[in-house]
Structures are given as structure tokens and as C-alpha cells.
């Protein structure tokens, strides 16, 4: 049986049958009605299948973690939780792993076996990519055949071009549902211990000396993170993008409760 989509209904065409009292007249198939000289209507089945596309940051900054749980470990647990939830709903799941380039693309498909393949790639590879720029991943995915999907961005959102990333994500989102989850460590929200120390950027590799005794240094450190967060909060609210913050010491299940 051939199927054709009904635009705007979230339904798939199923069959044509005789008109019953109470059926909506807008679904009358006039060609079949004329052929049999008796009213017939199109019957639709609800299209409940979703296509879920995850953009996963694999850059070096994800390796950071003050305690035993790094941001990358948190991202793995988050990714696994979300993917198995989607697989349970019989949805298609795909992923674009990115740094400042597309590292690996998994086309959306169904099945727990496919979920395990994506998880295996994320867990078993030692990623040594210095920086991250998801605009490359967004541009890549827009060239695929997928038009209707739910899109997820999982990252610590440490980018040198935040405004460009947000603008690009809005484009790939289009009219689809979009979600951003920032994974962070509590240690990143406060200035490191007092003293003179060398700060090394995990992505750029650039090092600089910091005066940890200075109260101004601590204020500037905190203001920088708050400023970036506020940009994401403001822009996601304008674009109707769901934004969540997930710390490495958070409980994933309680944080994701009612996510959709």
C-alpha cells in the first residue's frame, strides 16, 4: 500500500472507505466518490514517529572535571539516557559528532543495536580535537535529506564564536523542536584556588599566568561565565529553544524528568 503524507496534520494516508455519518467532509475523496457514485473519505493514521538528531561536542574541553565525573562522562550518560528513551518510543536516532569539523555522522535509524554503535564510538575513541565549532556540523546536516526532526545540541558551549553558533543553530532548527543542554563542572563557575597559577585553555592550548589572590580576577572569572550563559538563555528564549544546564554532580534522571 502506497503512503503519502498529509501536510500539516501529522498524519499518514492509510486508506479510502465509504463515508460515515460524522466524518469530516474536508476528507472526502472526490475522485473515488465520482467513480463509485457514493461518498468516500480518506482515512489517516497518526504519524507518531520522530526523527531525533544529536549534535555531540567531542572537543578537549569536555575532558575537564574537578572530581571523578568529567564533563565527557556526563555527556556519555546524558546521550545514552536520551537515545534509549527515543529508541523505546520506536523513533529514529542519528548523531553528528563534531569538533571544529564533522568527526562522524550516523544517519538516523531505529533500534537499540544502532544506539549501541553510536555509544561505542563515543566511549571507545580518544578524541584529541583542540577546538569546537558546531556551525560546520550544522551546515553539513542541512545538506542531508532530513527536513522534519527534533535536534539536540550537547556541549559545554565553550566556543570562540558564540553569536555565530547560536545564529547557525536557529537556521538548522527551522520550525522543528530544538534542545540545548550545557554540560559544566561547578569548578568552572568559580575562580580556582588563591595563588599565582598558570591557566591553560584545553581547546586553544594557550597558557597565561593568573593572580588568584585578586578579588577582581575572581569577579571577572565569574562574570565571563554568567555573561555567556545569559546570551544563551536570552537567545534560546527568543527562538523557542529549550535550554538546560547539567552539572557533573547532578542526577541526570531528575534533571531530564519531563524533558519533552
Strand runs labelled E in 40-195: 40-46, 51-57, 92-98, 102-109, 150-155, 178-184
Question: Considering the chain, what is the average pLDDT of its residues?
Answer: 82
Cα 213 from Cα 144, distance rounded (Å): 52
Cα 171 from Cα 139, distance rounded (Å): 9
Cα 229 from Cα 2, distance rounded (Å): 48
Predicted pLDDT at 48 = 56
Q: Which of 51-55, 83-87, 136-140, 153-157 has the lowest mean pLDDT?
A: 83-87
Residue 171's CB is within 10 A of a number of other CB atoms, namely: 11
CB of 65 within 8 A of CB of 248?
yes
Mean of pLDDT values over 237-246: 94
Predicted pLDDT at 16 = 82
Secondary structure letter of residue 249 according to DSSP:
T
Cα 72 from Cα 178, distance rounded (Å): 21
- Environment class of 69 (CB within 10 Å of its CB; exposed 0-12, middle 13-18, buried 19+): middle
The sheet carrying 5-6 orders its strands as 5-6, 11-18, 40-46
Q: What is the CATH T-level fold of the domain 51-256, as seen in this structure?
A: Rossmann fold (3.40.50)
* Domain parsing of the chain, residue ranges: 5-46, 51-256
Secondary structure letter of residue 213 according to DSSP:
T
Backbone angles phi, psi at 213, to 5 degrees: -80, -25
pLDDT tens digits, residue range 19-66? 776 677 888 889 888 988 889 888 765 455 789 999 999 998 898 887
pLDDT tens digits, residue range 187-221? 776 655 555 555 555 555 555 555 555 555 556 65
Q: Are strands 5-6 and 11-18 parallel, antiparallel or unpaired?
A: antiparallel
Backbone angles phi, psi at 209, to 5 degrees: -90, 140
Amino acid at each position: 500500500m502506497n503512503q503519502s503524507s498529509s501536510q500539516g496534520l501529522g498524519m499518514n494516508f492509510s486508506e479510502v472507505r465509504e463515508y460515515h455519518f460524522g466524518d469530516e467532509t474536508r476528507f472526502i475523496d472526490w475522485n473515488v466518490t465520482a467513480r463509485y457514485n457514493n461518498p468516500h473519505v480518506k482515512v489517516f493514521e497518526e504519524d507518531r514517529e520522530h526523527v531525533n538528531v544529536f549534535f555531540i561536542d567531542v572537543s578537549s574541553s569536555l575532558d575537564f572535571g574537578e572530581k571523578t565525573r568529567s564533563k565527557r562522562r556526563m555527556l556519555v550518560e546524558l546521550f545514552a539516557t536520551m537515545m534509549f528513551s527515543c529508541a523505546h518510543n520506536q523513533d529514529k536516532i542519528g548523531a553528528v559528532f563534531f569538533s571544529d569539523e564533522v568527526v562522524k555522522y550516523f544517519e538516523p535509524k531505529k533500534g537499540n543495536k544502532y544506539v549501541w554503535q553510536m555509544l561505542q564510538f563515543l566511549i571507545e575513541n580518544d578524541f584529541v580535537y583542540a577546538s569546537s565549532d558546531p556551525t560546520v556540523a550544522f551546515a553539513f546536516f542541512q545538506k542531508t535529506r532530513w527536513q522534519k526532526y527534533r535536534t539536540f545540541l550537547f556541549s559545554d558551549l565553550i566556543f570562540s564564536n558564540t553569536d555565530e553558533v547560536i545564529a547557525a543553530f536557529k537556521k538548522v532548527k527551522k520550525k522543528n523542536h530544538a534542545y540545548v543542554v550545557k554540560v559544566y563542572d561547578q569548578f568552572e563557575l568559580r575562580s580556582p584556588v588563591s595563588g599565582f597559577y598558570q591557566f591553560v585553555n584545553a581547546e586553544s592550548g594557550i597558557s597565561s599566568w593568573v593572580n588568584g589572590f585578586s578579588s577582581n580576577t575572581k569577579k571577572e572569572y565569574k562574570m565571563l561565565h554568567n555573561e555567556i550563559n545569559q546570551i544563551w538563555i536570552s537567545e534560546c528564549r527568543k527562538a523557542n529553544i529549550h535550554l538546560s544546564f547539567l552539572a557533573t554532580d547532578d542526577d541526570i534522571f531528575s534533571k531530564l524528568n519531563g524533558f519533552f
